[in-house]
């Protein structure tokens, strides 16, 4: 979510920028850059210029001058929000700006957290500019100004459901990896029964991961987020291959314990083939999916 630090009205009537062009400057924290940051800022400004009659009681006119020495508003890309406190443990603060209801500072600094998608970054800039124009979290349009991302992000609950399912899949996949390693250690030491049991447990965990990744994919597909679908597909495919490899190793260990050497060799070959196939797929971290889903 985003926060606004209030600058109280101290005199005059109406907003200080009523009837005045508002110069927008662009700045970057040292070491940060984003080629389309000015474009996203301009899009946010254009929104307010085109909707001032509906949501404000005065006309808005922006002048984008990225290198302005003394802009009215300086939109800054940062690695950490330092001027607003986090008011909820559930939501990350991704932007901050002063809530200007009276006299304005010489330059109002807007902080925008880096590392997020174009869609969310543009919405965040629009939200923060709204604060500088005098709008709070309870003002319209809620899809821009609300402090709750559920109001600002379309299909938010479905996006969150996809991400939550993916996180569940990652946890199950990691459990599968631990059991797979236990089985491999037991195989190496010819503890056949122990190996078979560990690989069976691994297969169960990978099956749970498959189901979670499939659920994440279904939610992403429901709202047409193809990049997220691709990420979920790859994670599910890798889980399938690891499950098949685990099952084959479990069968191989059982065959070896029972003295069936031909079956042991055949199932060992199957296990290696499925493992090799799994290396064709990549499981991305949850932040990558969050960006694809427009949550970051």
State whether 133 and 14 are in the same domain.
yes
Beta strand 108-113 pairing with 95-100: antiparallel
CB 140 within 8 A of CB 56: no
Q: Whose CA is closest to 114, among 149, 79, 82? A: 79
Contacts of 164-168 with CB under 8 Å at 24 or more apart are: 165/212, 165/213, 165/215, 165/216, 165/219, 166/212, 166/213, 166/216, 166/231, 166/232, 166/235, 166/286, 166/289, 167/286, 168/212
Q: Which of 114, 131, 152 is the last residue of a domain?
A: 152
User: 120 falls in which pLDDT band (50, 70, 90)?
Assistant: confident
Q: Give the tens place of pLDDT for each residue, 203-229.
A: 999 999 999 999 999 999 999 989 999
User: 149 falls in which pLDDT band (50, 70, 90)?
Assistant: confident
Helix axes 226-257, 156-188, angle to 10 degrees: 20
CATH number of the domain enclosing 39: 3.40.390.10
Q: Does the pLDDT at position 1 exceed 60?
A: no
State whether 231 and 118 are in the same domain.
no
State whether 147 and 160 are in the same domain.
no
The tally of domains found in the chain comes to: 2
CA atoms lying within 13 Å on the CB side of residue 42:
9
State whether 101 and 238 are in the same domain.
no
State whether 175 and 270 are in the same domain.
yes
Q: Which of 152, 170, 204 is the last residue of a domain?
A: 152
State whether 98 and 222 are in the same domain.
no
Range(s) of the domain holding residue 215: 156-292
State whether 148 and 165 are in the same domain.
no
State whether 162 and 109 are in the same domain.
no
State whether 146 and 184 are in the same domain.
no
Q: Which of 152, 174, 205 is the last residue of a domain?
A: 152
The answer, yes or no, to whether the previous bond of 15 is cis (omega within 30 of 0) is: no
User: 119 falls in which pLDDT band (50, 70, 90)?
Assistant: confident
User: 92 falls in which pLDDT band (50, 70, 90)?
Assistant: low
State whether 133 and 81 are in the same domain.
yes
State whether 147 and 170 are in the same domain.
no
Q: Does the pLDDT at position 88 exceed 80?
A: no
State whether 270 and 136 are in the same domain.
no
Q: Which has the minimum average pLDDT: 6-20, 63-77, 183-197, 260-274?
A: 6-20
Q: Does the pLDDT at position 111 exceed 80?
A: yes
Q: What is the mean pLDDT of the segment spanning 81-85?
A: 76
């Amino acid at each position: 979510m985003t926060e606004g630090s209030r600058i109280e009205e101290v005199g005059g009537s109406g907003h200080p920028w009523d009837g005045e062009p508002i110069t927008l400057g662009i700045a970057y924290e040292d070491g940060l850059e984003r080629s389309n940051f000015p474009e996203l800022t301009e899009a946010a400004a254009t929104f307010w210029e085109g909707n001032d009659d509906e949501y404000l009681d005065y006309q808005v006119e922006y002048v984008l001058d990225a290198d302005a020495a003394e802009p009215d508003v300086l939109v800054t890309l940062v690695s950490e929000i330092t001027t607003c406190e986090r008011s909820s443990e559930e939501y990350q603060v991704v932007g901050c700006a002063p809530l200007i209801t009276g006299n304005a500072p010489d330059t109002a600094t807007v902080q925008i957290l880096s590392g997020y998608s174009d869609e969310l970054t543009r919405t965040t800039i629009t939200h923060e500019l709204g604060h500088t124009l005098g709008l709070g979290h309870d003002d319209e349009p809620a899809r821009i100004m609300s402090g709750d991302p559920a109001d600002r992000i379309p299909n938010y609950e479905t996006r969150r459901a996809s991400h939550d399912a993916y996180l569940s899949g990652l946890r199950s996949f990691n459990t599968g990896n631990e059991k797979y390693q236990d089985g491999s250690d037991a195989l190496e030491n010819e503890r056949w029964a122990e190996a078979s049991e560990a690989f069976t447990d691994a297969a169960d965990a990978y099956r749970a991961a498959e189901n979670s990744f499939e659920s994440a994919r279904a939610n992403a597909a429901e709202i047409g987020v193809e990049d997220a679908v691709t990420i979920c597909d790859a994670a599910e495919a890798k889980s399938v291959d690891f499950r098949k490899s685990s099952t084959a190793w479990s069968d191989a260990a059982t065959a070896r314990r029972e003295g069936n050497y031909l079956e042991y060799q055949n199932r060992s070959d199957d296990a290696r083939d499925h493992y090799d196939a799994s290396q064709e797929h990549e499981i991305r971290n949850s932040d990558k999916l969050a960006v694809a889903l427009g949550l970051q």
